A and B are shown apart, each in its own frame.
Chain A
Amino acid sequence: MQFEPQLTKRFNIENSYTLNVALQHGAYASLPKLFSKKPEEVIEEIKISGLKGRGGAGFPCGMKWSFIPKNSTKPIYLVVNGDEGEPGTFSDRAILSKDPHLLLEGVIAAAYAIQAHVAYIYVRGEFFREIQILNQAVEEAKNSGYLGSKIQGSDFQLEVFIHQGAGAYICGEETGLLESLEGKKGQPRIKPPFPAIQGLFGCPTIVNNVKTLSSVPWIIANGGAAYAAIGTKDSTGTHIFGLSGHVQNGGYWELPFGMPMLEFIETYGRGVKNGKLKAVIPGGSSTPVLTAQECEDLTLSYESMAKHGTFLGTGGAIVINDQTDMPQILKNLTHFYAHESCGQCTPCREGTAWENRLLQKIIQGEATARELDLMVEIAGNMEGKTICALAAACAMPVRSFIKKFRGEFEKYLKPSGVTVGIQL
């Protein structure tokens, strides 16, 4: 597919993570244009571009930035969400290690737009090597006048600090991340107030994903309208899509939005491994699963995913072949959510673990249809009943797996009427 790469353009250049090499290949070239605009003009440009948050929720980026109160007397913070942890998702890690200066260029633009003078980049605790590279990039950028005071001759000043997480999926939720940055357990906050009003240290804060911010320099350099012309009407620009699971060739590729899912699997993933396509979890483990048949007219876009009752999420698709036992996969996923629930809200803390226990019981051949129905009922009591979306992230796979592959669950069941113990 012919298009100009924006996010991965320096990935194949040797030592692209060093400032010298990155500069030779266009890093920080958007800054003169950035500083020639007023902050509100930058926000307007991002609104025109149609850029959506790439972390999973897909919230319009320009609109988010515009929520920062004007004339705030408190400091304003920019926080970068690099706590990549959604199963099936792994491309932020690539940006951090291969092109940290692209991210920093985006950080400068976003901080300028919202007039933040301090930015924290929160990176997943496991990414030791990526953090070393990022620290070096920040140091180099500072020493060459791309960070610090009077950036590239402008009046703008910005300090960037790297903050290492310590192993908690929930810190990818933006308010959980803020709590974690403040030195607490990463338990999400009740919203409102939204972080743009009261975020880090009680101050106006914007939290953006690594890929979202890495998309910004191209928009500044080429204009929002040019970005909006790429992809589809409702899914503008490019994204780094991932493939894992049962594919011949797992990996990530930058593509404009709109490619058919099956073409993506065939062309880039080189087809399904060890069998035929049975199902795809399209955008990270939390998004509802699709059957092979549903994938036939599915494209890599926000609107096509919505039409099929699922989400683009992080853009990391997990491919499942027809040799796979779906109840086993759902057991694996519910184990994940039970482990990662922060424990704050009862429906999530109890629900995720309960779903996992019920699946174990089903797979051991000790359950009846009542338990299977109970799983669906519990999912209904989790979704929308908690502070953050983790409960829904568990409920959505549970519901979609049981709805679309019910027969596979039923084959484990005992005939009803022979259950022992307490009837609920």
Chain B
Amino acid sequence: MSVVFKKEVLDEFEIIANRYPTRRAALLPALWLAQREFGYLSLEVLDYIAQIVKISPVQVYEVAEFYTLFHKKPVGKYHLQVCRTISCALNGALDIQRAIEAHLHTKPGEITHDKLFSYELVECLASCHTAPCMRINEDYYENLSPEKVNEILNQLVKENNQNAI
């Protein structure tokens, strides 16, 4: 299978690329579009991005590797990013990690067997006043407790089951 953007995504990319005097500056936006479209950035995807941004593949690889929000391997439908940095750590981030690991039976960096959840530990999410916190996909979940984590995860499973019907 060869990866390519649909026509409308390619058009979206060209509009963004026109905002910059160099085409290379559109690399981060291109990688965001690719992640939105393909879920994660496989080598094949990165090679395609190199083509449309018109730079060498290695210039794409090094950038994809450098930034932590770009997924280089598949993630779950719900991707959990749990803050481990100081203000969250002072407010029980470790309890949140344990609750997640017990609930999902996964370790940081892993994905559940049903591919519904993946989980990683991240550095400061800039929500220190509502610690402990995590992100799931595009949303923040704040003032967490182990009980709240269990509720959130159960709710997401329910949401997923309802969507499947």
Complex-state Cα separation, A85 to B125, whole angstroms: 7
- Within 8 Å of chain B (Cβ to Cβ): is A90? yes
Please report whether the interface of chain B is mostly helix, strand, loop or mixed according to DSSP: mixed
Q: Is there contact, CB below 8 Å, between A336 and B127?
A: no
Q: Is there contact, CB below 8 Å, between A89 and B128?
A: yes
Q: Is there contact, CB below 8 Å, between A183 and B67?
A: no
Sorting the interface of chain B by its residue count into under 10, 10 to 19, 20 to 34 or 35 or more gives: 35 or more
CB A255 to nearest CB in B, in angstroms, measures 15
Q: Is there contact, CB below 8 Å, between A93 and B126?
A: yes
- A184 touches which of B19, B63, B91, B122 (Cβ 8 Å): B63
Question: Contacts of A164 on B, CB cut-off 8 Å?
Answer: 28-29, 32
Q: Is there contact, CB below 8 Å, between B85 and A243?
A: no
Q: Is there contact, CB below 8 Å, between B68 and A243?
A: no
Complex-state Cα separation, A329 to B84, whole angstroms: 11
Complex-state Cα separation, A251 to B130, whole angstroms: 8
- A166 touches which of B24, B67, B129 (Cβ 8 Å): B67
- Within 8 Å of chain B (Cβ to Cβ): is A290? no
Question: Contacts of B140 on A, CB cut-off 8 Å?
Answer: 129
* Interface pick from B111-119, B131-139, B156-164: B131-139
* Interface pick from A51-59, A120-128, A188-196: A120-128
Question: Contacts of A339 on B, CB cut-off 8 Å?
Answer: 123
Q: Is there contact, CB below 8 Å, between B127 and A333?
A: no
- Within 8 Å of chain A (Cβ to Cβ): is B153? no
Which partner residue on chain A sits nearest B131 by CB separation? A244
- Within 8 Å of chain A (Cβ to Cβ): is B8? no
Which partner residue on chain A sits nearest B55 by CB separation? A183
Q: Is there contact, CB below 8 Å, between A245 and B123?
A: no
Known contacts A184-B24, A332-B85; is-contact A168 B67 (Cβ 8 Å):
yes
- Within 8 Å of chain B (Cβ to Cβ): is A165? yes
Question: Contacts of B29 on A, CB cut-off 8 Å?
Answer: 163-164
Q: Is there contact, CB below 8 Å, between B28 and A129?
A: no
- Within 8 Å of chain B (Cβ to Cβ): is A242? yes
Q: Is there contact, CB below 8 Å, between A183 and B87?
A: no
CB A163 to nearest CB in B, in angstroms, measures 7
Among B95-123, those with CB < 8 Å from A are 122-123
Question: Contacts of A332 on B, CB cut-off 8 Å?
Answer: 84-86, 89
Q: Is there contact, CB below 8 Å, between A185 and B62?
A: yes
Which partner residue on chain B sits nearest A252 by CB separation? B129
Question: Contacts of A180 on B, CB cut-off 8 Å?
Answer: 28
Q: Is there contact, CB below 8 Å, between A336 and B123?
A: yes
Known contacts A166-B70, A183-B53; is-contact A90 B84 (Cβ 8 Å):
no
Which partner residue on chain B sits nearest A127 by CB separation? B126
- Within 8 Å of chain A (Cβ to Cβ): is B27? yes
- Within 8 Å of chain B (Cβ to Cβ): is A324? yes
- Within 8 Å of chain B (Cβ to Cβ): is A186? yes
Complex-state Cα separation, A23 to B130, whole angstroms: 30
- Within 8 Å of chain B (Cβ to Cβ): is A320? yes
Binary interface encoding of chain A residues 76-110 relative to chain B, with 1 for a CB under 8 A from any of its CBs, else 0: 00000000111111101100000000000000000
Q: Is there contact, CB below 8 Å, between A85 and B126?
A: yes
Which partner residue on chain A sits nearest B133 by CB separation? A90
- Within 8 Å of chain A (Cβ to Cβ): is B22? yes
CB A96 to nearest CB in B, in angstroms, measures 10
Q: Is there contact, CB below 8 Å, between A88 and B86?
A: yes
Q: Is there contact, CB below 8 Å, between B129 and A250?
A: yes
Q: Is there contact, CB below 8 Å, between B86 and A340?
A: no
- Within 8 Å of chain A (Cβ to Cβ): is B3? no
Question: Contacts of A316 on B, CB cut-off 8 Å?
Answer: 128
- Within 8 Å of chain A (Cβ to Cβ): is B52? no
Which partner residue on chain A sits nearest B130 by CB separation? A250
Question: Contacts of A246 on B, CB cut-off 8 Å?
Answer: 90-91
Question: Contacts of B32 on A, CB cut-off 8 Å?
Answer: 164, 166
Known contacts A184-B24, A316-B128; is-contact A166 B139 (Cβ 8 Å):
no
Among B69-100, those with CB < 8 Å from A are 69-70, 81, 84-87, 89-91
Question: Contacts of A242 on B, CB cut-off 8 Å?
Answer: 128-129
- Within 8 Å of chain A (Cβ to Cβ): is B31? yes
CB A344 to nearest CB in B, in angstroms, measures 11
Among A140-177, those with CB < 8 Å from B are 161, 163-169
Q: Is there contact, CB below 8 Å, between B68 and A183?
A: no
Complex-state Cα separation, A281 to B27, whole angstroms: 37
Question: Contacts of A181 on B, CB cut-off 8 Å?
Answer: 25
Q: Is there contact, CB below 8 Å, between A126 and B126?
A: yes
CB A410 to nearest CB in B, in angstroms, measures 22
Q: Is there contact, CB below 8 Å, between A244 and B128?
A: yes
Question: Contacts of A324 on B, CB cut-off 8 Å?
Answer: 90
Best-surrounded residue of A183, A252, A336 (most CB of chain B within 10 A) = A183
Complex-state Cα separation, A125 to B135, whole angstroms: 12
Complex-state Cα separation, A200 to B138, whole angstroms: 29
Complex-state Cα separation, A72 to B93, whole angstroms: 51
Q: Is there contact, CB below 8 Å, between A89 and B126?
A: yes
Q: Which 9 A-B pairs have the closest CB atoms?
A: A183-B27, A166-B67, A244-B128, A250-B129, A167-B69, A167-B68, A128-B138, A183-B24, A244-B87
**New A-B pairs, 15, CB < 8 Å, besides A90-B129, A245-B131, A320-B90:** A75-B21, A89-B128, A90-B127, A90-B128, A126-B126, A128-B138, A129-B138, A164-B28, A166-B28, A168-B66, A183-B26, A251-B129, A252-B129, A285-B86, A336-B86
**Can you report 13 A-B residue pairs in the complex whose CB atoms are below 8 A from each other?**
A85-B123, A86-B124, A125-B67, A125-B69, A168-B66, A183-B26, A201-B21, A244-B131, A245-B90, A250-B128, A250-B129, A285-B124, A318-B90
